[in-house]
Amino acid sequence: MRKIIIILIFHFLPMFIYCQTLFEVNLLITDTIIVIKKSKKEHKYAIKVNAEINIPNLQDTLFFYNFNRYVPSSFFLSDRYKETSVGLIFIIEDKNHQIISPRFTHNSYANEKDETRINNSRIFVSSKQKIKYKQLNKEEQHSYDKAKYVISSEKQSLGLYPIFYYRSGTFNIYHNLPKGEYYLYFAYSNYYIPPSNICDGDKLFKGYFVSNKVKLIVE
**Are 210 and 183 in contact, with CB atoms under 8 Å apart?**
no
Higher pLDDT among residues 74 and 11, named by residue: 74
Residue 4's pLDDT is what?
Answer: 42
Q: What does pTM read for this prediction?
A: 0.83
**Going by C-beta distance under 8 Å and a sequence separation of 6 or more, which residues neighbour residue 87?**
65, 66, 67, 68, 147, 188, 189, 190
Does residue 15 register a pLDDT over 70? Answer: no
Q: Would you place residue 92 in the very low, low, confident or very high pLDDT band (cuts 50, 70, 90)?
A: very high
Does residue 100 register a pLDDT over 70? Answer: yes
Quick: pLDDT tens for 150-167.
Answer: 999 999 999 999 998 877
Q: Would you place residue 75 in the very low, low, confident or very high pLDDT band (cuts 50, 70, 90)?
A: low
Quick: pLDDT tens for 23-56.
Answer: 789 999 999 999 988 777 777 778 999 999 999 9
Domain ranges (residues) in the chain = 2-110+136-218
End-to-end Cα distance, the chain: 73
